[in-house]
């Protein structure tokens, strides 16, 4: 294989010689390291689909960590390799290393994580080519044969696919995820709102959500407006819909597992959410989204028409209610031909 670039990618001294020993047909094993939570995990589906096309004869192993297994795309890989994560801190170091080494020798390792654990996983396993996108210059120099560009100003999936573009592979855009699951069918179409996040500081203010849902429910009376309940106390729907409970087309809804959550998302007309894994589930399900961002959105904002990012006037901080409402209306108008 040859490299298809002139600038912007760093190679080790032996990278070109190593690449010449490989062809698309003789690559028999590749490992994809993705140590990431639900939202980042499901975005990996696009890379795995394209990698399978590029290396059709290869067995694909996905390496993950034990504390981040939700959303693992087992349907797209031949094997899942799980190392000890932060939920298993008491495991002795020799057992950790032994588990890391179970990944085994590969033709190519793609590190899509760039974490301390992923770097160790890359280091302790042999491969003809090791490819990554660490932010740290020395990590790139010490542990990888090929270091591709990674920027917070670019959608994360594009950063991942850059590891395939260096070899001249053509990838699809908009990205293809093939997320499994059937949409929920209800008697009326619905817009779904997820008001939670990993911490309260990442949540758009409750009173803003209340105002938004009140106005959207009035604008779209023939559509139900459902607030998806989260697990944590700050993700409960009561504080949002309590002041507007008298409106007949507003209610809360629960989803107890990822399958139910995906079904709920796949059935909705629009998802309005903080920057969370729930929003990423909508992205990989090809469902229109409005993401609410307190600062730069570009790493998690796919720039195709069904997705919009509502931004604050002065970052960091919550965007105004009117800003989010305008984004919702724009997406509803852009996607008016989608079946209800």
Please, what is the angle between helix 93-101 and helix 116-123, to 10°? 60
pLDDT for the residue 340: 58
- CATH class, 190-334 region: alpha beta
- Show Cβ contacts of residue 21 under 8 Å, excluding neighbours closer than 6 positions: 128
Contact 276, 294 (CB under 8 A): no
Write out residues in the chain with pLDDT < 50, as ranges.
none
Q: Where in the chain is the domain with CATH 3.40.50.2000?
A: 10-165, 190-334
Contact 232, 224 (CB under 8 A): no
Exposure class string for 126-155: b at 16+ Cβ within 10 A, else e: ebbbbbbbbeeeebbeebbbbbbbbeeeeb
- Beta-sheet strands, E only, within 209-312: 224-228, 250-253, 270-274, 289-292, 307-310
> Taking the model in full, what pTM does it have?
0.95
pLDDT for the residue 84: 97
Q: What is the pLDDT of residues 32-53, one digit of tens each?
A: 999 999 999 999 999 999 999 9
Strand partners, 130: 109
Specify the CATH architecture of the domain 10-165.
Answer: 3-Layer(aba) Sandwich (3.40)
pLDDT for the residue 230: 82
Strand partners, 83: 65
Contact 37, 277 (CB under 8 A): yes
Q: Phi and psi dihedrals of 310, rounded to 5?
A: -95, 120
DSSP class of 278: H
Could you tell me the CA-to-CA distances from 228 to 20, 211, 225, 290, 314 in Å, in that order? Answer: 51, 16, 10, 15, 29
């Amino acid at each position: 294989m040859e490299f298809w670039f002139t600038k912007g990618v760093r190679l080790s001294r032996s990278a070109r010689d190593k690449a010449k020993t490989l062809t698309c047909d003789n690559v028999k094993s590749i490992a994809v390291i993705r140590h990431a939570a639900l939202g980042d995990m499901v975005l990996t589906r696009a890379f795995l689909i394209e990698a399978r096309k590029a290396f059709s004869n290869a067995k694909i192993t996905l390496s993950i960590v034990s504390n981040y297994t939700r959303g693992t795309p087992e349907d797209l890989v031949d094997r899942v390799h799980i190392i000890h994560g932060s939920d298993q801190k008491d495991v002795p170091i020799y057992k950790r290393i032994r588990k890391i080494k179970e990944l085994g020798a590969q033709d190519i390792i793609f590190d899509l994580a760039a974490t301390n654990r992923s770097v160790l996983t890359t280091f302790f396993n042999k491969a003809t080519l090791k490819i990554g996108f660490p932010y740290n210059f020395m990590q790139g120099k010490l542990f990888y044969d090929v270091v591709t560009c990674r920027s917070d100003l670019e959608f994360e999936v594009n950063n991942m696919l850059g590891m395939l573009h260096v070899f001249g592979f053509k990838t699809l855009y908009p990205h293809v995820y093939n997320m499994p699951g059937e949409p929920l069918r209800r008697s009326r179409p619905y817009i779904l709102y997820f008001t939670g996040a990993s911490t309260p500081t990442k949540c758009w203010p409750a009173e803003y959500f209340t105002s938004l849902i009140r106005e959207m429910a009035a604008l779209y009376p023939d559509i139900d407006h459902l607030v998806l309940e989260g697990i944590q106390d700050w993700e409960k729907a009561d504080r949002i819909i309590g002041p507007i409970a008298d409106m007949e087309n507003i209610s809360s809804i629960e989803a107890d597992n990822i399958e139910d959550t995906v079904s709920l998302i796949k059935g909705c007309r629009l998802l309005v959410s903080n920057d969370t894994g729930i929003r990423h589930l909508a992205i990989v399900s090809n469902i229109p989204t409005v993401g609410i961002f307190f600062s730069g959105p570009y790493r998690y904002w796919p720039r195709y028409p069904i997705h919009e990012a509502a931004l604050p006037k002065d970052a960091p901080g919550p965007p105004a209610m009117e800003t989010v409402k305008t984004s919702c209306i724009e997406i509803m108008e852009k996607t008016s031909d989608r079946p209800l």
